[in-house]
């Protein structure tokens, strides 16, 4: 299993966080299985990897005045659901098998843990990105969220993140100026599907893996610019997002009909289509178009590995569900219960959705000029500054 050396691990902390004199404590956060969500091998291996990081960083940090601890909390059942109230400080040499093995009387308020550590790494099973993004400005920490991290992602941690940062900031600038995006998808080499995304009233975000400012949280590895389509929350100003969005789930292409930025119907048949149709009826917020994302790592030689944390950073992706952690209007209160909260990305790469090609992605700029961004899944915009 590929691992970062101690020197690489220390270098990653310096590169990602650029610690200053006030950054004297780093917390490694892990979520723990329980009776409701049992353990699995990849989760156990990730916790062991996190414990190894904590040990190595603690040893290296002693020479630099950096205190390092590992803290565990009971899993929250779903990606991007709000975090629990309590956590436990954990011995990296004696990891608990489940949260049920821990004494509640020895737990700590999780907010206190976060407030006491200016630097956070979160290699969790279930994504903590949304809640940590919302808590970071309030508590002043910086967090690198690493949901689903595996050893296969280690090479992506060795990239030149200054170049990644340059590319995603270029894309962020384009998204900031855009009023809309028009996307054309080709299904099975024939049928065309068109989707219009309303990008008014929104600013984009650059997630490059560089977390140098207090109050910020983002993925690591990273490499994307992303924006929440306008969701129509302004009175008298409905969202103009509309059209058809095909997504391959397993072997089946599920066809979403979009009106006012919301999936209102499924215009396809099959087991996956029926499951999505039922979910939309039970949880309408799962049909909110929450993100247009533009990853850049594929052009830097990174290939998909079947883990969303990395795969979405490779190219075009769209997400449904929660958006408030990105500056949108849909949050946990729009779902029926905490376990139902989702932010679900779908990545348009041939390895992941071979039946669908993103044939064209165009931005409609504020002056009405159209800018072609991608063709057949490949960027046509230049990253080298040349015309």
For 36-89, write each residue's pLDDT tens digit: 999 999 999 999 999 999 999 999 877 777 899 999 999 999 998 899 999 999
User: Based on the domain organization, do 235 and 286 belong to the same domain?
Assistant: yes
User: Based on the domain organization, do 189 and 328 belong to the same domain?
Assistant: yes
Kindly tell me if the per-residue pLDDT of 312 is higher than 50: yes
Which of 152, 167, 187 corresponds to the end of one domain? 152
Containing structural domain, residue 372:
159-379
Buried b (16+ CB within 10 A) or exposed e, 108-135: eebeebbeebbbbbbbbbbbbbbbbbbb
Band of pLDDT at residue 3, cut at 50, 70 and 90: confident
CB 179 within 8 A of CB 188: no
User: Based on the domain organization, do 200 and 127 belong to the same domain?
Assistant: no
- The pLDDT of residue 382 is 85
Do the domain assignments include residue 384?
Answer: no
Kindly tell me if the per-residue pLDDT of 387 is higher than 60: no
Q: Which of 87, 89, 102 is nearest to 132 (CA)?
A: 87
User: Based on the domain organization, do 130 and 170 belong to the same domain?
Assistant: no
Do the domain assignments include residue 386?
Answer: no
The per-residue pLDDT for range 195-212, each reduced to its tens digit, is 999 999 999 999 999 999
Q: Please state whether beta strands 316-321 and 343-347 pair in parallel, antiparallel, or not at all (unpaired).
A: antiparallel
Kindly tell me if the per-residue pLDDT of 362 is higher than 50: yes
User: Based on the domain organization, do 322 and 371 belong to the same domain?
Assistant: yes
User: Based on the domain organization, do 347 and 220 belong to the same domain?
Assistant: yes
Do the domain assignments include residue 168?
Answer: yes
User: Based on the domain organization, do 288 and 360 belong to the same domain?
Assistant: yes
| pLDDT, mean of residues 167-178 | 98
- The pLDDT of residue 385 is 60
Do the domain assignments include residue 387?
Answer: no
User: Based on the domain organization, do 263 and 334 belong to the same domain?
Assistant: yes
- The pLDDT of residue 126 is 96
User: Based on the domain organization, do 292 and 260 belong to the same domain?
Assistant: yes
195, with CB counted inside 10 A (0-12, 13-18, 19+), is buried
Token representation of residue 105: 């009387």
Q: What are phi and psi of 73, to 5 degrees?
A: -135, 155
User: Based on the domain organization, do 24 and 148 belong to the same domain?
Assistant: yes
Do the domain assignments include residue 385?
Answer: no
User: CA-to-CA distance for 380 and 365, rounded, in angstroms?
Assistant: 16
- The pLDDT of residue 279 is 98
Chain centre distance of CA 46: 18
- The pLDDT of residue 117 is 98
The per-residue pLDDT for range 227-248, each reduced to its tens digit, is 999 999 999 999 999 999 999 9
Q: Which of 198, 195, 204 is nearest to 177 (CA)?
A: 204
Query: Taking the CB of residue 299, how many other CB atoms lie within 10 A of it?
Result: 14
Q: pTM for the complete prediction?
A: 0.86
User: Based on the domain organization, do 256 and 302 belong to the same domain?
Assistant: yes
Do the domain assignments include residue 1?
Answer: no
Which of 125, 152, 179 corresponds to the end of one domain? 152
Band of pLDDT at residue 252, cut at 50, 70 and 90: very high
Kindly tell me if the per-residue pLDDT of 223 is higher than 60: yes
- Report how many domains make up the chain: 2
User: Based on the domain organization, do 273 and 296 belong to the same domain?
Assistant: yes
- The pLDDT of residue 2 is 84
Do the domain assignments include residue 134?
Answer: yes
Which of 152, 167, 192 corresponds to the end of one domain? 152
Query: What's the whole-number average pLDDT of the chain?
Result: 96
Q: Which region among 45-54, 156-165, 193-202, 377-386 has the lowest average model confidence (pLDDT)?
A: 377-386
């Amino acid at each position: 299993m590929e691992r970062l050396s101690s020197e690489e691990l220390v270098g990653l902390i310096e590169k990602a966080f650029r610690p200053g004199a006030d950054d004297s404590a780093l917390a490694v956060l892990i979520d723990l299985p329980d009776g409701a969500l049992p353990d699995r091998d990849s989760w156990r291996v990730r916790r062991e990897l996190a414990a190894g990081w904590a040990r190595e960083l603690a040893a290296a940090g002693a020479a630099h005045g950096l205190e390092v601890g590992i803290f565990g909390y009971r899993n929250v059942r779903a990606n991007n659901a709000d975090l629990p109230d309590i956590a436990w400080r954990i011995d990296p040499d004696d990891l608990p098998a489940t949260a049920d093995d821990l004494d509640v009387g020895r737990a700590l308020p999780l907010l206190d843990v976060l407030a006491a550590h200016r630097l956070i790494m979160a290699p969790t099973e279930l994504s903590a990105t949304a809640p940590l993004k919302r808590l970071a400005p309030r508590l002043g920490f910086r967090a690198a969220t690493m949901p689903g991290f595996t050893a296969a992602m280690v090479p992506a941690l060795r990239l030149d993140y200054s170049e990644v940062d340059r590319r995603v900031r270029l894309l962020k600038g384009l998204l900031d100026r855009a009023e809309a995006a028009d996307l054309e998808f080709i299904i099975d080499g024939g049928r065309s599907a068109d989707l219009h995304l309303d990008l008014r009233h929104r600013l984009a975000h650059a997630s490059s893996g560089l977390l140098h400012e207090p109050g910020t949280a983002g993925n690591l590895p990273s490499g994307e610019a992303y924006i929440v389509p306008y969701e129509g929350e302004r009175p008298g100003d409905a969202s103009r997002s509309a059209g058809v969005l095909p997504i391959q789930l397993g072997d089946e292409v599920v066809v979403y009909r979009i009106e006012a930025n919301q999936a209102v119907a499924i215009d396809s048949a099959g087991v996956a289509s029926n499951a999505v149709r039922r979910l939309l009826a039970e949880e309408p917020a799962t049909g909110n178009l929450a993100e247009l994302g533009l990853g850049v790592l594929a052009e830097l030689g990174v290939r998909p590995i079947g883990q969303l944390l990395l795969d979405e950073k490779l190219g075009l992706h769209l997400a449904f569900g929660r958006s408030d952690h990105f500056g949108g209007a849909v949050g946990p209160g729009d779902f029926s219960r905490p376990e139902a909260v989702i932010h679900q990305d779908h990545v348009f790469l041939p390895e992941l959705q071979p039946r669908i090609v993103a044939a064209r992605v165009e931005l409609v700029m504020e002056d009405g000029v159209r800018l072609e961004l991608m063709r057949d899944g490949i960027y046509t915009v230049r990253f080298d500054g040349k015309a």
